[in-house]
Chains A and B, each alone.
Chain A
Amino acid sequence: MRDVASAVLTILVFPGFGFLFVCALAFHWIDRRVTARFQGRVGPPWFQPFADFVKLLAKEDVLPVGAHERACALLPMVSLAAVLTAALHIPVGGYVVTSFEGDLIVVLFLLSLPALAYFLAGWLSASVFSVVGGSRALLQYFAYEVPFLMALAGPAILVGSWSVSRISGAQSGGLWTLLVQPIGFVLAFIGLIGKLKRSPFDIPKAKSEIGAGPLTEFSGRKLALWHLSLQVKTVVGIFLLVDVFLGGSGGGISLSGVTLFGVKCLLVLLALSVTGVLYARLRIDQLATMGWRVLAPLALVQLLVVVLVGG
């Protein structure tokens, strides 16, 4: 009975859903605030993401005629569920809900489900903007996903384990993967920007071109869930990067470890925000070219180095 209770607590509170929800809103706020500061503004108050979320929940939920109602209701939930499940396998400051050999692959799979849901949402919601946005999202997926996967395969091969916790733990005391595989880290970082559809890879939801992209026709609760799933995905992506490349919490469970983990996460978030501010949006063909001509070959080189030298 105690076991069940503690398991439920880990899944629902820490480091499970409750913690992720708070983190998602907090990271989103920090991101907006940093962006605002870079633009010489003050930026939104700390409760802004929460206010937005509640407001959207309390709004009317409409869909245009011709949209696939059931699918449109289901897709944001699928997206959110996938990222929440992925988070269960990623250690947060040394705590992890479940971990097994091969969970890195499960995490990567679950993190790419939202991209598919996003595309389908665009396709099924009966609007020109959303269809264009959806097809762009899919194209973008093919451009960043392969380099991202190869970049994350590097550390796994080096450590000889496909478990996020193991990879994270293997760096305690030793070198961070970042120092051993700098190219891999940069590629994973770029891939993460693509995954999160952040500027400069916000091609599927380019505001000045195609409305709000695949989410153009979504409103109310569904839109709130979409936003939340993207925000949680940001958090999960940052956790994953910190665990795999930046040494996680530095091994074991301790207060300093948790603090260290938090600081690293904030640094990655800051890097994401700064990149978003500094670079303007690419065109989809530029991204595809970059993905296959630059990122993928670099990832191959990195993998080869790992296999030949490290393995």
Chain B
Amino acid sequence: MKGAGTVGAIIRWARRRSPWVLHFNSGGCNGCDIEIVDTLTPRFDVERLGILKESSPRHADILLCTGPVTRQSRARLRRIYEQIPAPKWVVAVGGCSCSGGIFRGGYNVLGGIDQVLPVDIYIPGCPSRPEAIIEGILQLLETIE
């Protein structure tokens, strides 16, 4: 994925400036989802950072996951991840998706998102605040090569 020289630098610059996100809840309480929706409101105006919410995995770069992975949602989560074209990144939003949170150990719960997908950044909180989500995405963008 690494480009050489100027072209590589331009591509890296473009990737950092244009993260399009897709949001998927794999079994949380909906609290984090509301915070994500909040993040996308004009109040926080994430479009100024180039962040757009896409409704098709094919258009997305970043998968924003909320909630723990349940047995039922595991296959779908994997499938959505596979539908995103490379390069792609996964952000775990909220305590549940980091570790399973309050649902950890439940009969139908596998644990955090990292049980199924490679997570690039964990954002704690129950639910995570919009400021924290934005900060997390920005930190992720810093690491993009």
Contact = CB atoms under 8 A, between A and B. Distances in A.
B74 interface: no
Contacts of A51: 13-14, 17-18, 50
A92 B100 CA distance: 60
B58 A44 contact: no
B31 interface: no
Contacts of B17: 45, 47-48, 51, 55
Given A55-B61, A59-B87, A32 B47 contact: yes
A252 to B, nearest CB: 40
A219 B59 contact: yes
Interface stretch (A6-14, A33-41, A73-81): A33-41
Q: Name the residue among B47, B58, B61, B83 with the largest chain A CB count within 10 angstroms.
A: B58
A46 to B, nearest CB: 11
A267 interface: no
Contacts of B72: none
B34 to A, nearest CB: 17
Contact of A61 (B42, B54, B56, B85): B85
B104 interface: no
Given A32-B47, A42-B45, A48-B50, A59 B56 contact: no
Nearest to B52: A52
B85 to A, nearest CB: 4
Interface string B69-109: 00000000000000101110000000000000000000000
A282 interface: no
Given A58-B15, A217-B58, A44 B47 contact: yes
Contacts of A44: 47-48, 50
A59 B60 CA distance: 10
Task: Please tell me the size bucket of the interface on B.
Answer: 20 to 34
A61 B50 CA distance: 21
Contacts of B56: 129, 211-212, 215-217
Given A48-B18, A54-B11, A55-B18, A41 B48 contact: yes
A47 B49 CA distance: 11
Nearest to A36: B47
B48 A42 contact: yes
Contacts of A207: 55
A223 B59 contact: yes
Given A212-B54, A217-B56, A217-B58, A59 B85 contact: yes
Q: Name the residue among B45, B50, B59 with the largest chain A CB count within 10 angstroms.
A: B59
A220 interface: yes
Nearest to A50: B14
A278 B95 CA distance: 39
A41 B39 CA distance: 13
B18 A219 contact: no
B10 interface: yes
B47 A41 contact: yes
A39 B61 CA distance: 25
A39 B42 contact: yes
A258 to B, nearest CB: 31
A83 to B, nearest CB: 21
A45 B50 CA distance: 8
B86 A59 contact: yes
Contacts of B58: 62, 212, 216-219, 223
Given A54-B11, A59-B85, A60-B85, A43 B47 contact: yes
Interface in A207-245: 207-208, 211-212, 215-220, 223
Interface string A193-219: 000000000000001100110011111
11 contacts: A41-B45, A42-B45, A54-B14, A55-B11, A55-B18, A59-B87, A60-B87, A212-B54, A215-B59, A216-B56, A218-B58
Given A32-B47, A220-B85, 6 more contacts: A36-B48, A45-B17, A47-B17, A48-B18, A62-B85, A211-B56
Q: Which 8 A-B pairs give the minimum distances between C-beta atoms?
A: A54-B14, A60-B85, A51-B17, A41-B45, A219-B58, A55-B14, A60-B86, A219-B85
